[in-house]
Amino acid sequence: MTVTIKATGQKPVRAQVTRKRGLGTMRGLPFVLPYLPFLVAFGILPVAYAFYLAVTTDTGGWAGFDNFTRTVRDYRFLPALEHILLYTGMWLGSLIVIVVGLALLLHGRANRVTSTFRFLFYIPGALAGASSVLVWLFMLDPSVSPGSFLLRNVLGSHLFVESIAPGKLPFVFAMIAFWTGAGGWIVVMYGALNTIPHDLEEAARVDGAGPITIALRLKLPLIRKWIAYMAILAFATGTQLFVEPQLVNQASLGQVPDTWSSNQLAYQLAFRYGDFNGAAAVSVDLIAVALIAAVVVVKRTGLFRIED
Amino acid sequence: MVLVSRGFRLLILTAFAAFFIVPIVWLVLAPTKSDEALVTNGPFAFGSLGNVALAWDHLDAFSNHIYRAWIGNSLLYALGATAIVLVTGVPAGYGLALSTFPGRRLVLTLTLIVMIMPAATLVLPIFLELDALHLIGSVLSVILPFSFFPFGVYLAYIYYSTAIPRDLLDAARIDGCGEWSTFRYVALPLAKPVVALVFFFSFVADWNNFFLPYAVLADSEQYPIQVGLSNLLSSTPSFNPATGGGGQQVGIFRPELALATLLAVIPVAIVFLLSQRALVRGLVAGAVKN
């Protein structure tokens, strides 16, 4: 061993260091072991079990695609799909245009005002889950809302039930999701903008580019990976909508169906009808969407590294 | 011209800031007013602190102090699960970052994919699995799924593979530290910022999770606060005229509901303030990843 090092210099030294760092050994495995049962039990097994239930009957026999075709033909399936696609489209559009726009505006100049705005935008993120929906039920009630003027004139609603009329729901849910989620994304986009080298901006300015040209022709293309990441993630999340319509259903005296979104339909199939195989089939549809989105993000955007 | 564009920029930012902040200001002020004053007074009028106390009395009396039980449950679920996340996730990130073993790439890829999948995707499958295992309705059916937090593993992994010089760990080993001591006395103390980040994200994700406990718990005594809030919503006559008579009996009106929502946010605000410094740095660092 010593002979080799003397004879060839640099290379074997590196090899030795590599070995010391344990590459190719089992050294790190004990640290990972306690995590593995959780990964298997709540990451992999639920998916596998849902697939199993989706292709079997309630007695455990092979069902092929029966559960899938049966649930797709359910009269609630297509309306739910239409709802979440409309909602996701609106949410996605608002995220891409407004979040990126606000991040660019904030990045225009770095000062204390900017960090205050970022903080203000981020605050509603603390009210995810049921809390944000409750806040917005108040905001949508013209009798108490500080925005009653907007409700009457823009949304055209004079009563709470008019604010949650079926045609307005995709917009209302998109607004709630935007309210809670946009601030976090603005922080991320702002962080991405900060990675753009200063020299590049300076060079563009020297060449006579104004702030708008710099924002649209220089900064925007440089953060497109992050915009794609946000869009894919928002699309996946949007399709899984559950909390918002579930709570609005409770506050609407049945005006809003409890199967408004696909995830709600899966839930109702399991809980109200005990149809676990049908519920699993709808779940598998949703898993497929989320899985494809996740794999695209991991494999294509290059934002998540896995070193060898 | 410069002045005009600067003013325009400020105008847009202020308008959006209002959109984000006005609902919260309203929420803070709402419990100071009676249900009637909410309608008749201006939305930003301040009532009195006496009304807040009154609203709390009604809220606390609701269903035999169940509101306190919901907050306690949420603390138990979020803190219990986050403790498990820290104990399993941070070492896992360390192990994945600083050594290779067969299957490492697979574990990392699966972790990433589940991390990116929306949390709501796996709720029904987890419910079906727990049902097959007859765990539905137990406290563990919430805490154990919450304890799987791939984002925490990924944060620790990124931190250990970028921010910790490997030579430092090698130095500890040359000084005679075993694998465990190297982690315990060198790698773990260096990871304080990432521990704060994982704590924050895991706690907030668990605290705000509605769907999973909603699906796996049946007894309202076991509900966490988010599911409890939906229970309160069903008892508020202005959103549920069907419970009009019931509303009089249980005393839950809009000020009570607003107070319940507001109090439910306080733990998240406290955790946010505690980990804010690590958070701001971490969010920016997370944005770079190069």
The mean-pLDDT minimum among A4-8, A53-57, A166-170, B34-38 falls in A4-8
* Residue A215: inside a domain: yes
Residues A53, A54, A59, CA angle at the centre, nearest 5°? 50
Whether the CB-CB separation of A32 and B96 falls below 8 Å is answered with yes
Polymer length in residues for chain B: 290
The pLDDT assigned to A23 comes to 40
Residue that has been written with the tokens 């509303």 in this structure? B247
What is the pLDDT averaged over residues B206-219? 95
Average pLDDT rounded to a whole number, residues A162-168: 90
Count of the separate structural domains present in chain A: 1
Q: Are B70 and B16 in a shared domain?
A: no
Q: Are residues B105 and B24 in the same domain?
A: no
B86 pLDDT above the threshold of 60: yes
Residues B30 and B70 in one domain: no
CB atoms within 10 A of CB B71: 18
Q: Does B240 touch chain A (CB under 8 A)?
A: yes
What average pLDDT does this structure show over B198-221?
95
The string of pLDDT tens digits covering residues A232-246 is 999 999 999 999 999
In a domain, residue B177? The reply is: yes
Q: Name the closest residue on chain A to residue B91, using Cα atoms.
A: A31
Check whether A11 has a pLDDT greater than 50: no
Mean pLDDT, residues A153-182: 92
**Can you spell out the DSSP letters for chain B?**
-HHHHHHHHHHHHHHHHHHHHHHHHHHHHGGGS-HHHHHHS-TT----HHHHHHHHHHHHHTTTTHHHHHHHHHHHHHHHHHHHHHHHHHHHHHHHHH---TTHHHHHHHHHHHHHS-GGGGHHHHHHHHHHTT-TTSTHHHHHHHT--HHHHHHHHHHHHHTS-HHHHHHHHHTT--HHHIIIIIIHHHTHHHHHHHHHHHHHHHHH--HHHHHH---GGG--HHHHHHHHHHT-TTT-GGGHHHHHHHT--HHHHHHHHHHHHHHHHHHHHHTHHHHHHHHHHHHH--
The total of other beta-carbon atoms located within 10 Å of residue A3's CB is: 8
Question: Does residue A183 have a pLDDT over 80?
Answer: yes
Instruction: Give the contacts of A9 (CB within 8 A, at least 6 positions apart).
Output: none
Q: Are residues B150 and B204 in the same domain?
A: yes
A113 domain residue, yes or no: yes
Shared-domain flag, residues B151 and B267: yes
Residues B135 and B267 in one domain: yes
The CA distance from B136 to B130, in Å, is 6
Q: What percent of chain A lies above the pLDDT cut of 90?
A: 63
* Minimal CA separation from B64 to chain A, in Å: 22
Domain of B123 in residue numbering reads as 60-288
Which residues of chain B lie closer than 8 angstroms to A105, CB-CB?
9, 12-13
Residue B178's pLDDT band, with cuts at 50, 70 and 90, is confident
Residue ranges making up the domain that contains A129: 77-261
Does the residue A140 lie in any domain?
yes
Question: Does B96 touch chain A if contact means CB atoms closer than 8 Å?
Answer: yes
Closest to A283 in 3D by CA, of B117, B109, B164, B287: B117
Where does the pLDDT of residue A17 fall: very low under 50, low under 70, confident under 90, or very high at 90 and above? very low
Q: CATH code at B132?
A: 1.10.3720.10
* ipTM confidence score: 0.91
**Is the residue at B55 inside a domain?**
no
Residue A149 lies inside a defined structural domain of this protein:
yes
The answer, for B268 touching chain A at a CB cutoff of 8 Å, is yes
Tokens (6 digits) for B154:
């990924």
Q: pLDDT tens digits for A193-232?
A: 988 888 998 999 899 988 888 989 999 999 998 999 999 9
Q: Are residues B138 and B272 in the same domain?
A: yes
Task: Specify if A237 maps to a domain.
Answer: yes
| Separation CA A241–CA A84 (nearest Å) | 7
pTM as predicted: 0.90
Residues of A in contact with B154 (CB under 8 A): 304
pLDDT score of B62 more than 70: yes
Could you tell me if B281 and B157 lie in one domain? Answer: yes
For the residues A78-99, what does the mean pLDDT come to? 96
What crossing angle do the helices spanning A45-54 and B123-132 adopt, rounded to 10°?
Answer: 80
CA-nearest residue to B125 within chain A is A46
The rounded percent of chain A whose pLDDT value lies above 70 is: 90
From the list B185, B146, B121, the residue with the least C-alpha distance to A293 is B121
Q: Are residues B16 and B131 in the same domain?
A: no
pLDDT band at A26 (very low <50, low <70, confident <90, very high): confident
Give the residue, A262 or A308, on which the prediction is more confident.
A262
Is B275 part of any domain? yes
The Cα–Cα gap between A100 and A106 comes to: 10
CB-based burial, B251-260: b 16+ in 10 Å, e otherwise: ebbbbbbbbb
Chain A contact present for B147, CB below 8 A: yes
Q: B111 and B177 in contact (C-beta within 8 Å)?
A: no
- Number of domains present in the structure of chain B: 2
Establish if B52 belongs to a structural domain: no
CATH number where A128 lies: 1.10.3720.10
Q: Write the pLDDT tens digit of every residue in A27-50.
A: 889 999 999 999 999 999 999 999
Q: At what angle do helices B66-98 and B192-208 cross, to 10 degrees?
A: 140
> Is A170 inside a domain boundary?
yes
Q: For residue B53, is it within any domain?
A: no
pLDDT at B287: 44
The predicted pLDDT at position A307 comes to 63
Q: Does residue A218 lie within any of the structural domains?
A: yes
Cβ within 8 Å of residue B10, ≥6 positions away: A113
**Residue A266 with chain B: CB contacts under 8 Å:** 124
Q: What is the tens place of the pLDDT at every residue in A105-134? A: 998 766 778 888 988 998 998 888 899 999
Nearest to B53 by CA among B255, B232, B268, B266: B255
In a shared domain, residues B161 and B28: no
| Domain co-membership, B174 together with B198 | yes
Residue at B54 is within a domain: no
Same domain flag for B85 and B37: no
CB–CB contacts below 8 A, A to B: 307
Backbone dihedral angles phi then psi of residue B246, each to the nearest 5 degrees: -60, -35
Among A13, A35, A163, the strongest candidate for a mutation testing the B interface, having the largest count of B CBs within 10 A, is A35
Contact assignment for A130 to B117 by CB distance below 8 Å: no
Is the Cβ pair B91, A43 closer than 8 Å? no
Cα–Cα distances in angstroms (integers) from residue A245 to residues A7, A80, A257, B99, in the given order: 72, 11, 8, 46
CA distances from A253 to A248, B93, B238 (A): 9, 48, 11
Quote the pLDDT of residue A110: 60
Would residue A281 count as lying in a domain? Answer: no
